[in-house]
Structure 1
Amino acid sequence: MLKTVLVILLIYTVLLDVSLQDNGGKSHKKTRNITSIGPRSFDGRRMERKIILPQNRAHNDSPSFSTPSLLELELQANGTASYFTGALSTRVIPAAYVVAIIVGVPSNAVVLAALTAKTKAFSAAILYFSLALSDLLFLLTLTLRVFYHFNGNHWVFGEAACKVVTACFYGNVYCSIHTLMCLSVKRYLAIVHPFTYKSLPKHSCAMWSSLTVWAVFFTAMVPEFLIHQSYHLPHLGITTCHDVLPLNDKSYSFLPYYKLSLICLGFFVPFTVTVISHMSIIHQLNKAHNDWMHYIKMSTFVLIVFMVCFMPSNVIHFVHYFKLYTSKEEHFYMYYSVSMCLCGLHSCLDPFLLSLMSRSTESKLYFITFKGKTVSMST
């Protein structure tokens, strides 16, 4: 259970780029005594101000309810403002998410429907079901983020919704990573240690592994609800969700350690376990007398998908935070925001990946062990 205990804490990362150029100061906003900040996890302080109606407004137009208050931040770098108003964040990224939603939602829904009746037939179906559910929740979360980006990075759903969307967005990514790790370990035991695997209560192990992943996921989400996630940027006239945070504020002091630990435990640990498992599987099958090319291709494909979809965003994310807190450099953000689109791609590929894996799972495995004994089992 060491693999599942290492389960994620969830990434609620930084989304703001600094490698875009200054758009030139738009005399778009009024003068205010507001401290400056940088994107997402950069330095800054927050202030509270009340939204005051214009004085030239007719008296009978005044609202009868009390005026709400907003937390405001002002951007330090004009390049950050360019990111918020540029085509990358308002067109390219949401367009990629739309493609992921169109392909991924129906395909994952079909997988869930197909697996509902099979969870008692073979234990791997439990983990497949968990993976498809995680992907589906991730894609449904994307719908609000798509609206947010197409709306000029202006969040209109409120602070509570911002916290929930942020937690689900990153939480389901890491839930998928750890579920894939559990599937890899399961297959590693079935092929490399078949006698040990045959003696295990497979349904119970699969069920508890899945429940542990989800339990840790919900626990790891708690920090997302402890901090304020949405801030108004008066210079741009927009309210961001999770994209700009005042890290100099005391309530945010734990974030650097939390985020870096999250990346290590949420990605690098399961990535290492997954790579070792699949390399061992491929090595073992290559030594067998039977033709296991289909199984070898499947293991290789799983590994490639894992690396292509999850590695870029997490490596860039780690480097981004490391640079941010050591030398205050923030230019890695554009690459990070683009690489996050690959996580959406993963949710589209998973149904086809599960189809490939289930074909070999439903049939029995026969192979020669090191001791020359033939073992037959169903995973």
Structure 2
Amino acid sequence: MADLVQGLLICLMAVQTIQHDGNRTWTNTTASSAAIPKTFRGKTSKSNHTGQLPWLNVNLEDPVTAYSTGLLSTWVIPCSYILAMLVGIPSNAYILVSLRLRAKSLSTVVLYLNLALSDLLLLLSLALRVHYHFNRINWIFGEISCRLITALFYGNVYCSAQTIACISLKRYLAVVRPFFYRSLSKTTLTVWTCLIVWFLFTAAIVPELLVRQSYYVTQLDVTTCHDVLPLDDESHYPLVPYRLMLVFMGFIVPFLICIYTHVAVVYHLRQSGCDWRPFIRVSSLVFTIFVVCYLPSGLLHIAHYIRLFSYGDDRLYGYYRVAVCLCCFHSCLDPFLCLLMSKTAASELQFISLQRPAVRM
């Protein structure tokens, strides 16, 4: 699995390198002006002749120029979004309608419906971004829609990861701590868990809604949405602690939870003396897809932040945008994974019942 993730990262870097050949890194920057992740760095123009939209200046040799006109941004990313939407929107809508009839546990239904709703909102937010990328990152839908789409996109990426971590934790309790799991009020606990996840989602999107996201880039003659921000301005500096918290709560914590719970579940099932291979295969498949889809974007996000903070180099942003496409593919795969996991819910109950006599003895 490590080789697979490494191979994906190498492929992403190879594609982006074609566009950035000959570009050079920013050298004269300060830590405060480069500490905003996920975006290219622009500078606010002192003169604004339009009277409507703030201007930004960029160096034509910077990576943003190659990104805005290159094959990666104008074809690879939007085509990936279209594919994810074609598969994910109808399948997640089907899950929302039919899962209640398939799952045996109400708590399981609540978690999977929460995941399907988050994925559906993420995929729906891609529609305007497809036009944006086909239009050479030229946003024509206004500032309000830009803020809303940006907030929904990133908020739901992390909301999905947190929900998957909750599902993994539920399985861990059912298999590794079965008697404690039986003593819980599972439906009530699950509802509160989902409410907390959506509270974190709301907290995650509010800062994105409070700052301007769209700017007219004079040298490129386009209006960008979130991709180029005036990182030297004080208006965007408060996003630094917010983005750090978002990476920690939205990626690192769910990822660590998924790793620990998966390893613990597989270990206990193998020690039980029964044949749980179908259950282990499904659990391992879900975990592998989660790692492949979320690990590249998480690592590149952190690496991009470090390079911005240390050197003012923003060229990793293009790699990050490609890696985020994998998160969108995870959203369109979640409905099929939900069906597989709901079929193994009976195995959890069976495992709990098999553990009961051992304790009574």
| TM-based fold match above 0.5 | yes
| 2:5 counterpart residue number | none
2:139 paired with 1:155: yes
| Amino acid corresponding to residue 80 of structure 2 in structure 1 | A
SS in 1 for 2:274: coil
Are residue 72 (structure 1) and residue 29 (structure 2) matched?
A: no
Letter in 2 for 1:20: H
Query: How many angstroms does 1:44 deviate by?
Result: 2.7
- CA-atom RMSD, angstroms? 2.5
2:12 — aligned with what?
A: none
Provide structure 1 residue ranges, at least 5 long, that are not aligned to the other structure: 1-16, 24-35, 52-67
Give the 3 Å change call, closer, same or farther, for CA 291–119 of structure 1 in structure 2.
closer
- 1:353-364 matches, within 5 Å, as 353-362=337-346, 364=349
- Residue 41 (structure 2) aligns with: 42
Question: Cα deviation per residue 1:103-162 (whole Å; 9 max; x = unaligned)?
Answer: 111111111111255689521110000001111110000111111101111101110100
> Does the alignment pair 1:372 with 2:355?
no
Alignment of 1:84-233 (within 5 A): 84-116=68-100, 121-233=105-217
The change in CA–CA distance for 1:374 and 1:304 in structure 2 (over 3 A counts) is farther
1: CA distance, partners of 2:97 / 2:226: 34
Structure 2: stretches of 5+ with no match in the other structure? 1-15, 24-32
Counterpart in 1 of 2:10? Answer: none
Q: What is the TM-score normalised by the length of structure 1?
A: 0.82
Higher helix share: 2
Contact 2:60/2:219 (8 A) holds in 1: no
Q: Which has the higher contact order (CA 8 A, sep 6+)?
A: 2
In 2, distance between residues paired with 1:116 and 1:195? 26
d(CA) in 2 for partners of 1:119, 1:210: 18
After TM superposition, the score normalised by the length of structure 2 is 0.86
**CA deviation profile, 1:271-302 (whole Å, cap 9, x unmatched):** 10111011100000000122111111121112
| Structure 2 residue identity aligned to 1:158 | G
Sequence identity (%): 43
Partner Cα distance (2:150, 2:233) in 1: 20
Task: Give yes or no for contact 1:260–1:321 (8 Å, CA) kept in 2.
Answer: no
Matched, 1:299 2:283: yes
Q: Deviations over 1:338-377 (max 9, x none)?
A: 11110111012101100110001146323654983489xx
Displacement of 1:43 in angstroms is 5.7
CA distance, structure 2, for counterparts of residue 49 and residue 22 of structure 1: 31
Compare CA radii of gyration and give the structure with the larger one: 1
CA contact (8 A) 2:41 2:230 kept: yes
**Aligned AA for 2:171?**
R
Alignment of 1:227-376 (within 5 A): 227-362=211-346, 364-366=349-351, 368-369=354-355, 372-373=358-359
Shift in alpha-carbon separation, 1:147–1:116, aligned structure 2, 3 A: farther
State the distance in 1 between where 2:104 and 2:266 align: 28
Report the CA distance shift for 1:144/1:48 in structure 2 as closer, same or farther (over 3 A).
Answer: farther
Q: Would you say how many aligned residue pairs link Structure 1 and Structure 2?
A: 331
Q: Report the residue type matching 2:116 in the other structure.
A: A
